[in-house]
Every structure is written in structure tokens, then in C-alpha cells.
């Protein structure tokens, strides 16, 4: 998955408010002073700093993730009182924001203004209309896991200090579980959400056993005793919550996971912040599906030309001949795949190989620090195969994690074979490009250098995910793996995944697409293996308006590169172009385009 800052990505994916609340509730955002002769940039900067300061206290778990540690011992409050405080904060900040003359701001501040306004409006809508807190148990399970993970995964402070904060958060987790039981209406909870959370729930104790229990010796006697008590009480609370999940929530979860056209379109508009709407996304995606399959067929004809067992491959194929030809060529790539327990090892080697290639070709400026490949924490498994977890913009020079999910131990040989056909050796190369180099890891390292903390906190999913897909194309165009045609074929197959993501998300949530139709689109038209498509069907039910971010962002990056190439002609320099695109942080691509083409910020 892409989202690069783990907690931020969780919030965007689940509809979890960025401006939720913790206890004790902070004071409202201070009114920034407005002198008689208003300096609008100074006024906006003051409002932004004040809003962020309050936001860090209102959202302690996510604040830890972005690198603010003023509330590391606190936990978000999702009670009715906490949600009311979040709503009041968003409305108050929005009112102050709209009192500023946006036209008088610098171009950089106009971008931040637009991003903040979109986010505040989104959170008000999320709180009042979407109401994920009432029907999506993932809001609570992901928050609980992130509360521990964000404290312990990186060494932003001495271990004893982080252990003390983790103790205080563990003491508060039973209250979060109680809020979950109080807020969720089983009649509105979709069964897939309830079942997924019930499977993930024990993962929080896995985090405790991995990060906290082995390090209790770092604490003094009094602090260690308190931590052990917190762990003991948490085990009791987790067991009680598991019982409630299994015996109450799962059996009574009767909600519809489809959010419907009106809510989908509004959520999509907030998530994308793009001129592209649902109809144009669908039109572009369907056109690309046809074009890419045709390109894949041309590659298939070339790689199968000398093979006696190749199917009939005419220049103008029927749909059946095209399908058979592409499938036969893909089988050549599927034949080269890692062993069941070597996926993480191959991810490490492929990341090193991609890094060396980017450096050799001079495609883009490389980050100073490396990326670490890790096993995905258990509480995150079940939604995506991998993700890049970069340090927050306020935590400088800390590790970036490329997290890869292990193959489940209870999978049958048939399921494992399906998975490894999809994640064959060339696909792992593609995955590492997307998540690490020159994808998410590189892009977010550049983004974290931008001076605007506000922009970093409100980073655009389509920009981030779109860049990662753009990075895949960048490597293929530069001849990665010696211009291997089967790697090119796998790259296009992955792009088919991006395309079908955009189609099925709206088709499922708006048009009522059922599992069989979604699986047919993914496995036949998109050539995905059954395990990959089945996982995507689950993900599409669990989330909405996140799957299209890859396609929309990529389309916008392609459009931008084309426009700059046309403007600069022979003066176009790919490395300078990539570095400049990444220099603006991670705002919606529309604003990067307006900056690079010197257009008004709209």
C-alpha cells in the first residue's frame, strides 16, 4: 500500500478525522492577531502554526507519527465529547481561515491554504455525514495498534522514555475499547469490517511482546512495575474485547459496506483534490485498459515468437487470441519466483539493485539515508501486501521501513502458489520500485525537506501514490533489468492493477458491482492471480476513495511531464524535472503543475 506515512495513510483510507480529540481537550485555536496593516502571509503562517499546535494535542497518535512528541503519553478520545471537540476545532479553524484574503498570499501559501481548507471541510463532513466512528471498527483497531507502533518502531527518543509513554498509552487502551463498544452500531457495521478487525485484534499484544516486554529491563523498578501492570490489564482488556468482537459484533454486523453515490463522490472529491471526477476517471481508466492490453500483446508476440508451444499470435487478434497470448507470455515470468520464505530477502536485494540503477542513470537525486525492509506488523496485515512507512516530517534522519507482509502460515499450497505467481521475482522488483526506490521512500525523503510542516502533514495521496506508479514507468523507460521484455510485461500488468483499482472502487461502492464481476475484471482483464484479486476485493470493501489515488495521481503526473516537455523542448532535463517536481513536498499534483507552468493557483 502506499501511503507513505503510516498513520496518515490510515486516516485517509478509513475516513478517520485528522482533527479528532484526546483528553484533556486543548483550548480552541488561538485567534491570530491581525494588525491594522495586515500582512496576510504572516497572518496565515500564525494561523497554521496555531492550528498545528492544537492538532498535535488533539491527535496524539498521529502527532507521534509525524514527529511531534508533545502528547506521546496521550491517546485519542473518540467519545461523543471528544468528537464534539474535534468538530468545534475544525469549524473554528475554518472560520478563521476563510477570513484571510487568499489572493494576497504568496503562491506557496496559497497552496497550503487550499490544502488546509480542503482538509477542514473534509473532516467536518467526515464527522457529521460519513460517521465512520459509528460503523467502521477499523477506526479503533488501527488507532490502538498505531498507538504502540508509532512510539516503539523508531528511536526518536531514548528507549526508557518511549517505554514510559507506551505504558501510559497501554493504560488508556481499555478506554478506547470501551468507546468502540459504545460508538459502534452493529446494524451499521459491515460484516467484512467486523470480521477483519476480529482477526487483527490480537495483533496489539504481538506489538507489546515484540517491542515492550523484551525491553522492560531498561526501566527502573517503579516504572517497570507500572508497565507490567499495564500489560497485564491490557491482556485482560484485549481478551474481553475479543469476546465482544466474536460474540456480539461479528454475529450482529448487518451494515452495507457500499457507501453509495452521494457519499462516494464527496469523499472522492476530498481525497483527490483533483479536477478529475468520477465519470472522467472511469472513462480514462477504461480507455487505458484497452490500450495497455494491446501493448502487452505486442510484447507477448515478441517473447513467444520462437517458442513452438506458443498459441496463435496474429497481428490483429480476436479478444480470445489476445487473452491467450498475453497469458502465455506472463507464464514465462511466473516461472521465476521466490521460495515461500524468501520474499523479504528478495525485496531487500531488489531495493539495493534499484538504488544502484537510479544512481547510475542519474534519474533523480538520492536520499542520504537507507530504507529498512521489515516484516509487516500483524495489526496492519490483511489490507495490503506491502507499504512504505517513512519518518514524519518533524523526525529527521530516522529510519524508513519498507514493510512486507509474510505469507500466512495457514495458507494451502494452492494459495501460496497463487500468491507467488502474482509476486514472482520480477513483481518483487516492481514492488520494491514502488514502495522504496525511486518510489515512496525517495519521494517522501524529498518531501520531508520542504519547509512547510502544514503541507507535509496534509500530504496528498494522489501525489504520493501517483509518483510511485510514475517511478515504475521511469525505471522501465530507463532500461531497468537490461530492458528485459518480461519485466516490461510485468510492469504493464501492474499498471493494469492500477487501472482496475480505479474502476472497481467506484463500480463497487456506487454501481453495486458484486464479487464475481470484480473478480472477472481483475483476473481476466487484469491478469491478476486469484489470491491477489481476492485480497483486493476485501480491500475494496474495507476502504473507499483510496484505490483510485494511484491512477488519478499517475495520470496527473503524466499530464504534467508532457506539458513541461512540450514547453522546454530540447532543454528538458529528466533529473532536473524530477527533482523540481519533488521539491514542492507532497501537495495535490494540480498545484505542482500550476507552480511549474507558472499558472495561477486555483
CA 581/CA 599 separation, integer angstroms: 15
Kindly report, residue by residue over 263-319, the tens digit of the pLDDT. Answer: 999 999 999 999 999 999 999 999 999 999 999 999 999 999 999 999 999 999 999
Residues counted in the chain:
602
> Does 42 fall in a domain?
yes
Cell of 3: 501511503
> Does 440 fall in a domain?
yes
Average pLDDT estimate for 528-555: 95
Neighbours of 531 (CB within 10 A): 21
> Does 209 fall in a domain?
no
Domain C-terminal end among 72, 100, 130:
130
pLDDT band at 4; cut points 50, 70, 90 = very low
Residue 335 is classified by DSSP as: T
pLDDT at 384: 64
DSSP letters along 116-171, please? HHHHHHHHHHIIIII-HHHH-THHHHHHHHHHHHHHHSS-SS-HHHHHHHHHHHHH
> Does 26 fall in a domain?
yes
Kindly report, residue by residue over 157-191, the tens digit of the pLDDT. Answer: 999 999 999 999 999 999 999 999 999 999 999 99
Average pLDDT estimate for 574-598: 98
CA 78/CA 147 separation, integer angstroms: 14
CA 268/CA 277 separation, integer angstroms: 8
Burial class (CB in 10 A: 0-12, 13-18, 19+), 341: exposed
> Does 349 fall in a domain?
no
**Region at 28 (left for phi over 0; alpha for psi -120 to 50; beta for the rest):** beta
Cell of 188: 451499521
Contact in structure between 301 and 325 (CB atoms under 8 Å): yes
Average pLDDT estimate for 469-481: 98
pLDDT at 222 over 80: yes
Beta bridge partners of 307: none
pLDDT at 28: 43
Beta bridge partners of 388: 402
Kindly report, residue by residue over 337-359, the tens digit of the pLDDT. Answer: 999 888 889 999 999 999 999 99
pLDDT at 379: 63
* CA 164-89-41 angle, 5° bins: 100
Flag the least confident range among 68-72, 251-255, 375-379: 375-379
pLDDT at 522 over 80: yes
pLDDT at 314: 97
pLDDT at 531 over 50: yes
pLDDT at 524 over 80: yes
> Does 121 fall in a domain?
yes
Kindly report, residue by residue over 435-464, the tens digit of the pLDDT. Answer: 999 999 999 999 989 999 999 999 999 999
pLDDT at 97: 96
Beta bridge partners of 389: 401
Beta bridge partners of 490: none
Closest CA to 469 of 547, 537, 555, 347: 555
Domain C-terminal end among 88, 108, 130:
130
CA 480/CA 357 separation, integer angstroms: 7
Average pLDDT estimate for 61-88: 95
Structural domain count of the chain: 2
pLDDT at 532: 86
Residue 388 host element (H or E): strand 386-389
> Does 183 fall in a domain?
no
The pTM of this model reads 0.90
CA 310/CA 303 separation, integer angstroms: 10
CA 501/CA 414 separation, integer angstroms: 25
Kindly report, residue by residue over 111-148, the tens digit of the pLDDT. Answer: 999 999 999 999 999 999 999 999 999 999 999 999 99
pLDDT band at 382; cut points 50, 70, 90 = low
Kindly report, residue by residue over 395-423, the tens digit of the pLDDT. Answer: 877 888 898 888 888 889 888 888 889 89
Does residue 436 sit in helix, strand or coil?
coil
Kindly report, residue by residue over 24-57, the tens digit of the pLDDT. Answer: 333 344 455 554 456 999 999 999 999 999 989 9
pLDDT at 237: 98
Q: Rg for the chain (alpha carbons), in Å?
A: 24
> Does 587 fall in a domain?
yes
Beta strands 386-389 and 400-404: pairing type? antiparallel
pLDDT at 19 over 70: no
Flag the least confident range among 280-289, 388-397, 537-546: 388-397
CA distances from 365 to 39, 248, 359, 512 (A): 36, 53, 8, 45
Give me the domain span that covers residue 524.
414-596
- Order of strands, edge to edge, in the sheet holding 386-389? 371-375, 400-404, 386-389
**Region at 433 (left for phi over 0; alpha for psi -120 to 50; beta for the rest):** alpha
Domain C-terminal end among 114, 130, 146:
130
Amino acid at each position: 500500500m502506499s501511503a507513505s506515512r503510516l498513520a496518515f495513510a490510515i486516516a485517509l483510507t478509513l475516513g478517520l478525522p485528522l482533527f479528532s480529540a484526546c483528553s484533556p481537550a486543548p483550548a480552541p485555536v488561538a485567534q491570530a492577531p491581525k494588525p491594522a496593516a495586515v500582512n496576510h502571509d504572516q497572518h496565515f503562517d500564525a494561523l497554521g502554526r496555531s492550528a498545528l499546535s492544537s492538532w498535535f494535542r488533539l491527535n496524539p497518535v498521529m502527532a507521534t507519527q509525524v514527529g511531534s512528541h508533545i502528547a506521546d503519553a496521550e491517546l485519542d478520545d473518540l467519545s461523543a465529547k471528544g468528537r464534539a471537540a474535534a468538530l468545534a476545532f475544525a469549524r473554528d479553524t475554518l472560520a478563521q481561515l476563510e477570513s484571510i484574503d487568499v489572493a494576497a498570499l504568496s503562491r506557496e501559501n496559497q497552496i497550503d491554504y487550499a490544502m488546509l481548507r480542503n482538509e477542514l471541510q473534509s473532516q467536518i463532513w467526515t464527522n457529521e455525514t460519513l460517521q465512520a466512528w459509528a460503523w467502521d471498527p477499523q477506526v479503533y483497531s488501527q488507532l490502538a495498534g498505531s498507538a504502540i507502533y508509532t512510539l516503539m518502531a523508531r528511536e526518536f527518543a531514548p528507549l526508557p522514555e518511549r517505554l514510559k509513554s507506551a505504558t501510559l498509552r497501554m493504560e488508556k487502551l481499555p478506554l478506547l475499547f470501551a468507546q468502540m463498544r459504545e460508538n459502534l452500531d452493529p446494524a451499521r457495521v459491515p460484516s467484512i469490517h467486523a470480521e477483519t478487525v476480529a482477526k487483527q485484534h490480537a495483533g496489539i499484544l504481538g506489538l507489546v511482546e515484540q517491542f515492550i516486554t523484551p525491553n522492560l529491563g531498561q526501566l527502573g523498578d517503579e516504572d517497570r512495575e507500572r508497565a507490567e501492570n499495564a500489560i497485564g490489564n491490557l491482556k485482560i482488556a484485549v481478551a474481553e474485547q475479543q469476546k465482544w468482537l466474536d460474540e456480539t459484533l461479528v454475529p450482529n454486523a448487518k451494515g452495507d459496506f457500499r457507501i453509495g453515490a452521494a457519499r462516494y463522490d464527496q469523499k472522492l472529491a476530498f481525497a483527490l483534490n483533483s479536477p478529475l471526477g468520477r465519470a472522467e476517471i472511469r472513462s480514462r481508466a477504461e480507455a487505458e485498459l484497452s490500450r495497455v492490453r494491446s501493448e502487452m500483446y505486442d510484447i507477448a508476440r515478441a517473447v513467444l515468437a520462437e517458442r513452438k508451444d506458443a498459441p496463435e499470435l496474429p497481428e490483429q487478434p480476436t479478444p480470445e487470441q489476445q487473452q491467450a497470448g498475453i497469458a502465455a507470455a506472463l507464464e514465462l515470468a511466473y516461472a521465476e519466483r521466490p521460495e515461500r520464505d524468501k520474499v523479504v530477502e528478495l525485496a531487500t536485494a531488489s531495493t539495493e539493485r534499484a538504488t544502484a540503477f537510479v544512481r547510475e542513470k542519474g534519474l533523480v537525486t538520492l536520499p542520504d539515508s537507507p530504507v529498512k525492509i521489515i516484516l509487516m506488523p500483524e495489526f496492519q496485515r490483511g489490507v495490503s501486501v506491502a507499504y512504505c512507512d517513512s519518518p514524519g516530517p518533524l523526525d529527521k534522519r530516522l529510519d524508513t521501513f519498507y514493510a512486507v507482509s509474510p505469507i500466512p502460515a495457514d495458507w494451502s499450497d494452492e494459495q501460496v502458489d497463487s500468491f507467488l505467481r502474482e509476486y514472482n521475482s520480477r513483481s518483487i522488483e516492481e514492488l520494491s520500485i514502488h514502495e522504496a526506490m525511486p518510489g515512496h521512500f525517495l519521494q517522501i525523503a524529498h518531501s520531508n525537506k520542504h519547509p512547510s510542516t502544514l503541507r507535509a502533514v496534509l500530504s496528498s495521496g494522489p501525489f504520493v501514490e501517483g509518483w510511485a506508479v510514475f517511478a515504475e514507468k521511469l525505471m522501465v523507460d530507463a532500461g531497468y533489468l537490461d530492458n528485459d521484455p518480461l519485466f516490461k510485461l510485468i510492469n504493464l500488468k501492474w499498471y493494469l492493477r492500477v487501472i482496475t483499482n480505479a474502476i472497481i472502487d467506484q463500480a463497487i461502492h456506487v454501481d453495486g458491482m458484486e464479487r464475481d464481476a470484480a473478480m472477472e475484471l481483475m483476473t481476466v482483464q487484469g491478469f491478476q492471480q486469484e489470491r491477489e484479486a481476492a485480497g483486493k476485493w476485501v480491500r475494496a470493501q474495507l476502504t473507499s476513495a483510496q484505490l483510485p489515488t494511484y491512477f488519478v495521481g499517475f495520470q496527473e503526473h503524466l499530464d504534467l511531464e508532457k506539458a513541461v516537455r512540450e514547453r522546454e523542448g530540447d532543454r528538458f532535463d529528466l533529473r532536473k524535472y524530477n527533482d523540481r517536481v519533488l521539491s514542492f513536498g507532497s501537495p495535490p499534483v494540480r498545484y505542482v503543475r500550476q507552480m511549474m507552468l507558472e499558472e495561477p493557483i486555483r
